[in-house]
Structure 1
Amino acid sequence: MTSRTKTTFAPPVMEARRWLDGVTFPDNQPLINVSQAAPVDPPPAPLRAAMAAALDLPETHLYGPVLGLPALRHELAAQWSAHYHGIATPDQIAITSGCNQAFAATIASICAEGDEVILPTPWYFNHKMWLDMSGVTAVPLPTGADLIPNPTAARALITPKTRAIALVTPNNPGGVEYPAETLSAFFDLARETGIKLIVDETYRDFDSRPSPPHSLLSDVTWGNTLIQLYSFSKAYRLTGHRVGAIIANQDLLSEIEKFLDTVAICPSQLGQRAALWGLQNLRDWLAGERAEILDRRAAIEDHMPLIAANGWRLMGCGAYFAYLEHPFAESSATLAPKLVQEIGVLALPGTMFTPATDPSGARQFRVAFANVDRAGIEALFTRLASLDWPLATPVSAA
């Protein structure tokens, strides 16, 4: 009998880190690590001070409510409602141990073994891994050259076993921001067919648009269809404290509570207090973080001409990610370790984000640029431009 964990692949980021074993990087070409979308800097000093003060509270060290601290649920509900010009109430909020757990809890609460969930490709690999381990079939929805999923194509994939469509916007790995009309069309499709629409908005705080990215929460019946997921990790640099959230109707959260109680009992008390303090006090600081990320996004676009002349193509760019199509003959799975060895760049191949049967991943790389400043981005593109590997045969000449 195959165990649950053996139904899926090894964690991609951990696999990529092993490519660094035994490799040394000269002083004039240090490693450029664009493999993982996690801020490496600690939380800002005022937040760290608030966290230190929270350590003196006895309740910080005790179990708390399974669905999270009431104050955090109230604050997030108020800010979510204001941001989306809709209504989310505290009893429609659950706090989780990170956004990956939010997805896992949601799937456990809406799916049984043998069910199906539609995932646009390239997909977020941890979503695929959890579906595998849950005995739920991930149905790939190819997105094409613009990386935007098509609701009409999704409709053709819906079967009696389909329980949800899961979208990530701004997208991981593609970086693209899904248009509001795309999300509305998927919401209408999910409502019409009686399935759930899961919208993972881990990178919402770095969306380039000044207005709300969608209006789904303004529909008074949103709770029958929509499930939103969120992470505090990127906004406040709390990756190690694991704090995420689910926004869904109260009946579903009653089911999700069973999962959360069994897996973790409650989210980290310290992490939740940090998230609450951040929501209440770091609006201006977060605006500065967003501006910096948007500038790094612009730097990616500014430096694309360095490699576009060699046949590279920028497929998507936004939030923490750029998604690139390379011009070389070999698969990105083969080339990714060579990037480390030859030019000191650690990036993830597109094969980690696509089904084994999809050849497009072999032509793609994900670049996570949140920890690389403008100078580092210029160095990255200069190194990529230096590659002289054999090129793929043009389709027209095949």
Structure 2
Amino acid sequence: MSLTSRTFSSPVTEAYRWLDTRPPSDLPLLNAAQAAPADPPPPPLRAHMAELMLHDDAAHKYTGNWGLREVREAAAATTSRLYGGAVTAGQVGLTSGCNQAFVAAMASLVAPGDEVILPVPWYFNHAMWLDMAGAVKVPLPTGPDMLPDPELAASRITSRTRAIVLVSPNNPTGAEYPPDLLTAFRDLARARGIALVLDETYRDFLSTPGAPHDLFTDPDWDEVLIHLYSFSKSYHLTGHRVGALVTSEARLEDAAKFIDTVTICPTPLGQKAALYGMTQLTQWLAEERETLLARRAEVQRLLPQLEATGWHLSGLGGYFAYLRHPFAAEATQVAKTLLHDQSVLCLPGTFFAPDGDAEAARHLRVAFANMDHAGLGDLAARLAALKV
């Protein structure tokens, strides 16, 4: 069996194929499928990138596997400032998107047959790579609050367990993991000699101010914590693929073997754009967060309209609403009917869970971050009008 045949096809690609069979409709398409900014980078960043393209020869050349030193230094300083901890440039590796940060970390952690614990619903690209790596996914159910339980996770650790993977704010549920929960998982991972992989792709859009947690204040944080981040989401650089892997220098040295055989390095133009974002766009990013939080608040305001027709909000974040639908049909059928009848494209919960997961079959992930208030009102009306 080939590596790629061990896993499922891209859920986003599958959902976009549904558009090919969408009947003509007077309703404009509302795309709530992909959790990425639709707008390009802000004008000052685009102007800076244009200058780099024209006048900076280094923007077109290889860098080291883990990127340019000045960008790694800025990322380390930004991480240290946000979390109140101590991170050095040698502990930061820049990657071609946050997905590659995850894959590189897993390449340094797991061998075929090793186990990795994933809370369910999980991020499907994490599940896909573990399949292709020959690793065993160990599902960790979450409760009604969409939060994983450290005690339940402890009961699922075996001699083959290499890591627990957490995503906060969560994709697909939007749930924000409280600091004490993350601390409990860190302590569990340390006690059992495994890694805690924490993906904070949507960190910059948390609903609460201040540091998301204090894990970096631990002087030995890199013995346990492997941290993942995405510049792509924060600065609208999705097509330029810029992420970060923050971990021990020893792990970066080992994982560099993977990077060197895949991309060699992230694009220098993307790296330099991320540097500009970190150093010049602090206020712009704060305003972007406020815009997304206002949209989240609008979803909450519209919720009674949905609840009146049987919908239930299970999770809400800066980018996603995880909605339990009121129908007897399975979520994939509900999502296809929603597209056919109401011209709304979103992803079924079944794309984020093992086959046969009953809770996933009751849910849809609705990515609302690219919709203004009028669009959100239209979305709520179409969901409320759906009949399956």
Alignment TM class, shorter chain as reference = over 0.9
SS in structure 2 at match of 1:304 = helix
- For structure 2, the 5+ residue unaligned runs are none
- The residue number in structure 1 matching 2:151 is 152
Instruction: Provide, for residues 342-364 of structure 1, a one-character-per-residue CA deviation record: whole Å limited to 9, x for no partner.
Output: 01110100000111031111100
Task: Name whichever of 186-195 and 375-384 sits farther off.
Answer: 375-384
Kindly state the Cα deviation for residue 110 of structure 1 after the two structures are TM-superposed.
Answer: 0.8
Q: Which residue of 1 aligns with 2:274?
A: 275
**What is the distance in 1 between the residues matched to 2:115 and 2:24?**
45
Map 1:81-230; keep pairs closer than 5 Å: 81-230=80-229
Secondary structure in 2 matching 1:148: coil
Q: For residue 359 of structure 2, give the secondary structure of its aligned residue in structure 1.
A: helix
Letter in 2 for 1:179: P
Q: Deviations over 1:168-226 (max 9, x none)?
A: 00000000100001000000000000000000000001011111110000011111000
Which residue in 2 is equivalent to 1:395?
Answer: none
**Which residue identity is paired with 2:39?**
D
Taking the aligned partners of 1:371 and 1:388, their CA distance within structure 2 comes to 25
SS in 2 for 1:95: strand
State percent identity of aligned pairs: 54
For residues 99 and 174 of structure 1, the distance between their equivalents in structure 2, rounded to whole angstroms, comes to 18
Quote the Cα distance in structure 1 between the aligned partners of 2:270 and 2:72.
13
Letter in 1 for 2:169: P
Residues 1:47 and 2:45 are matched in the alignment: yes
Cross-structure match for 1:315: 314
Large movers: runs of 4+ above 3 Å: 24-27
Once the two structures are TM-superposed, the CA of residue 25 in structure 1 deviates from its matched residue by 4.7
Match of 1:35 among 27, 33, 37: 33
Question: Match for residue 13 of structure 1?
Answer: 12
Contact 1:299 1:377 in 2 (8 A): yes
Counterpart residue number, 1:332: 331
1:251 alignment counterpart: 250
SS in 2 for 1:18: helix
TM-score after normalising by structure 2: 0.98
Q: Distance in 1 between matches of 2:21 and 2:351?
A: 23
SS in 2 for 1:21: helix
Does the CA-based 8 Å contact 1:61-1:269 persist in structure 2?
yes
Give the superposition deviation at 1:53: 1.0
Structure 1, unpaired ranges of 5+: 390-398
State the alpha-carbon separation in 2 of the partners of residues 331 and 221 from structure 1. 46
Q: Superposed, which structure 2 residues align to 1:263-302 within 5 Å?
A: 263-302=262-301
Letter in 1 for 2:77: A
- CA RMSD in angstroms comes to 0.9
The alignment covers a number of residue pairs equal to: 387
Is the Cα–Cα contact under 8 Å of residues 39 and 370 in structure 1 kept in the other structure? Answer: yes
**Residue 306 of structure 1: aligned partner:** 305
Q: Post-superposition shift, 1:24?
A: 4.5
1:25–1:344 Cα contact (<8 Å) kept? no
| Deviation by residue 1:287-332 (Cα, 9 ceiling, x = unmatched) | 1110010011111111111110222110010121110011101001
TM-score of the pair, normalised by structure 1? 0.96
Q: Distance in 1 between matches of 2:260 and 2:200?
A: 24
Q: Which amino acid aligns with 2:48?
A: A
Q: Distance in 1 between matches of 2:21 and 2:119?
A: 36
Distance in 1, matches of 2:51 and 2:325, equals: 49
CA distance in 2, matches of 1:127, 1:204: 18
- Kindly report which structure 2 residues correspond to 1:37-76, keeping only aligned pairs within 5 A, or say none: 37-55=35-53, 56-76=55-75
